[in-house]
C-alpha cells in the first residue's frame, strides 16, 4: 500500500515512493541516460529588416558603463521587450513534448523573436551558436539546442532572451516532459519558490545579498543546493552588466538596491551537487554528479517598495505559472487516490 505521507524524495535504497515495495533504485529512479551532446544544425539567420545588436556579427559584446538605474524612457522599452520575451517563452514552452528536439524548439524561438520584431539575444553572443538555451536534466544552464529529442520523464529549461528597441528581456522556466518522477517535480516546484522568495526580498535601501539569502534558506530547508557559478546580472541595453546577483548568501554583495535598477534573478537549484563542469563545447554546464537542476528567471526593476517583474506577458499566465501547474498537476495525478490523503 502506498503511504499517503510518503516523502517525494527517495534515497537509492529507500522503498520506492510508488509503493511497490522495491528499492527506489530498482524501481522509479530516473534511468534516463545522461545527456550527451547531439549534432548541431546550421546557423539560423535574422532578416535585415530586424535591427541587429552590436555583437551580432563579431560575437563580442561592446562593453560600456551603463547606469544601474534606468531612465523612465529606458524602462518603458524594457517593459515592452520583457513582455514580448515572456510571450515567446510561453509559446516555446507549449511546444515541449516527448520526441521534440531541442533544435526544433530553437527554430520556434528564433521565428517568434523575429515575428515580434526582435533579435534572439543568444545568437552569436560571445559566439553562442543558437537562439535559445535548452538545458535538460543535469544540464545547469547554457545547453545548446541540437538534434536530441526530449524523452518522457525529462525536465528542460528554456531560456529566452529578446533584444528589441535596444534593450534585452531575459526569462526562463523549467518544463516537465510527459510523466516526470516526483523528485524532479518537487525540484521544479522548490526552484520556482526560490525565485519567488528572491523577488520578494527585493527592496530599495537593502543590500543585494538579501536576495541570495532568501533563496539559499529556502533551498536548504528543502534539501536542495544552490549552484554557485552562475548568478543573476544587471541588464538593459547590455545583456549582462557588472552588477552581480548571487543566489547564495554572499556578504560582499553589498550594492544597495535603488528604485529603477534592473537585474535578473535566476536561481539554478540542484538535487545534489552545487558544483559544475563545462563540456568541451565551452558552454554546456552540468553537475559533476549528474544530479538534476531546475531554474526559473525573470528580469525585474526595483520599485519604491519592492520589485516589478518586466518579463510578464501582456495577458494570460506567465510561463513560470504554466510550468508550476505542470509540476503540481503532474504530482496530483501521480499521488495516491484522494481518499488516502
Chain residues that interact with ligand MF3, rule: CB under 6 A: 122, 125-126, 128, 133, 142, 159, 161, 170, 264, 266, 297
CB-wise, 129 or 313, nearer to ligand MF3? 129
Where does residue 271 fall: left (phi above 0), alpha (psi -120 to 50 degrees), or beta otherwise? alpha
135 binding partner (options ligand MF3, Co ion, none; Cβ < 5 to 8 Å by kind): none
CB 74, CB 237: distance < 8 Å: yes
CB-wise, 35 or 133, nearer to ligand MF3? 133
Least spacing, CB of residue 1 vs Co ion, in Å: 44
Cell reading at 296: 526559473
Three-state SS at 258? coil
Least spacing, CB of residue 141 vs ligand MF3, in Å: 7
122 binding partner (options ligand MF3, Co ion, none; Cβ < 5 to 8 Å by kind): ligand MF3
CB-wise, 161 or 238, nearer to ligand MF3? 161
CB-wise, 260 or 267, nearer to ligand MF3? 267
125 binding partner (options ligand MF3, Co ion, none; Cβ < 5 to 8 Å by kind): ligand MF3
Least spacing, CB of residue 173 vs Co ion, in Å: 10
Least spacing, CB of residue 128 vs ligand MF3, in Å: 3
128 binding partner (options ligand MF3, Co ion, none; Cβ < 5 to 8 Å by kind): ligand MF3
Binding site for Co ion (CB under 5 A): 159, 170, 172, 264, 297
CB-wise, 183 or 237, nearer to ligand MF3? 237
Cell reading at 216: 539559499
Q: How would you class 170 by CB atoms within 10 Å of its CB: exposed for 0-12, middle for 13-18, buried for 19 or more?
A: buried
CB-wise, 154 or 297, nearer to ligand MF3? 297
326 binding partner (options ligand MF3, Co ion, none; Cβ < 5 to 8 Å by kind): none
Compute the distance between CA of residue 297 and CA of residue 309 in angstroms, rounded to an integer.
Answer: 10
Burial profile 224-241: b = 16 or more Cβ within 10 angstroms, e = fewer: bbbbbebbbbbbbbbbbb
The Cα angle at residue 156 between residues 319 and 249, in degrees rounded to 5: 80
Cβ-Cβ contacts under 8 Å for 208 (sequence gap 6 or more): 243, 244, 245, 253, 254, 255, 256, 257, 263
How much of the chain is in helix, strand and coil states, percent to nearest 5? 30, 20, 50
Least spacing, CB of residue 233 vs Co ion, in Å: 6
Compute the distance between CA of residue 91 and CA of residue 22 in angstroms, rounded to an integer.
Answer: 40
138 binding partner (options ligand MF3, Co ion, none; Cβ < 5 to 8 Å by kind): none
- Please identify the residue of the shown chain whose CB is closest to the bound ligand MF3: 122
Q: How far is CA 198 from CA 56, 170, 194, 291, in A?
A: 32, 16, 6, 23
CB-wise, 131 or 209, nearer to ligand MF3? 131
142 binding partner (options Co ion, ligand MF3, none; Cβ < 5 to 8 Å by kind): ligand MF3
Least spacing, CB of residue 27 vs ligand MF3, in Å: 36
Least spacing, CB of residue 30 vs Co ion, in Å: 25
CB-wise, 10 or 133, nearer to Co ion? 133
Q: How far is Cα of residue 266 from the mean position of the Cα atoms in its chain?
A: 6
87 binding partner (options ligand MF3, Co ion, none; Cβ < 5 to 8 Å by kind): none
Compute the distance between CA of residue 101 and CA of residue 145 in angstroms, rounded to an integer.
Answer: 8
Compute the distance between CA of residue 140 and CA of residue 284 in angstroms, rounded to an integer.
Answer: 8
Least spacing, CB of residue 180 vs Co ion, in Å: 22
Amino acid at each position: 500500500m502506498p503511504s499517503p505521507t510518503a516523502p517525494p524524495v527517495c534515497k537509492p535504497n529507500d522503498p520506492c515512493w510508488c509503493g511497490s515495495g522495491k528499492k527506489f533504485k530498482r524501481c522509479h529512479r530516473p534511468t534516463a541516460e545522461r545527456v550527451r551532446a547531439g549534432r548541431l544544425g546550421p546557423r539560423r539567420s535574422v532578416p535585415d529588416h530586424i535591427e541587429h545588436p552590436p555583437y551580432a556579427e563579431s560575437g563580442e559584446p561592446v562593453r560600456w558603463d551603463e547606469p544601474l538605474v534606468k531612465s523612465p524612457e529606458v524602462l518603458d522599452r524594457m517593459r515592452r521587450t520583457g513582455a514580448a520575451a515572456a510571450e515567446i517563452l510561453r509559446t516555446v514552452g507549449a511546444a515541449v513534448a516527448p520526441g521534440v528536439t531541442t533544435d526544433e524548439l530553437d527554430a520556434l524561438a528564433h521565428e517568434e523573436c523575429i515575428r515580434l520584431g526582435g533579435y534572439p539575444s543568444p545568437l552569436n553572443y560571445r559566439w553562442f551558436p543558437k537562439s535559445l538555451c535548452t538545458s535538460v536534466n543535469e544540464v545547469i544552464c547554457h545547453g545548446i539546442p541540437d538534434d536530441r529529442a526530449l524523452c518522457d520523464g525529462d525536465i528542460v529549461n528554456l531560456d529566452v532572451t529578446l533584444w528589441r528597441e535596444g534593450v534585452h528581456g531575459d526569462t526562463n522556466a523549467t518544463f516537465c516532459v510527459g510523466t516526470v518522477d516526483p523528485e524532479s517535480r518537487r525540484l521544479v516546484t522548490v526552484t520556482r519558490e526560490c525565485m519567488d522568495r528572491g523577488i520578494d526580498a527585493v527592496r530599495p535601501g537593502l543590500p543585494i545579498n538579501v536576495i541570495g539569502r532568501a533563496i539559499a534558506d529556502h533551498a536548504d530547508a528543502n534539501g536542495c543546493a544552490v549552484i554557485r557559478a552562475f548568478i543573476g546580472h544587471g541588464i538593459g541595453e547590455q545583456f549582462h552588466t557588472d552588477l552581480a546577483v548571487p543566489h547564495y548568501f554572499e556578504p560582499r554583495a553589498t550594492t544597495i538596491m535603488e528604485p529603477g535598477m534592473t537585474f535578473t534573478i535566476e536561481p539554478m537549484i540542484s538535487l545534489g551537487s552545487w558544483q559544475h563542469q563545462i563540456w568541451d563545447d565551452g558552454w554546456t554546464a552540468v553537475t559533476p554528479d549528474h544530479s538534476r537542476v531546475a531554474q526559473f528567471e525573470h528580469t525585474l526593476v526595483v520599485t519604491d517598495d519592492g520589485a516589478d517583474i518586466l518579463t510578464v506577458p501582456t495577458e494570460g499566465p506567465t510561463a513560470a505559472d504554466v510550468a508550476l501547474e505542470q509540476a503540481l498537476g503532474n504530482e496530483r495525478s501521480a499521488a495516491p487516490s484522494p481518499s488516502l490523503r
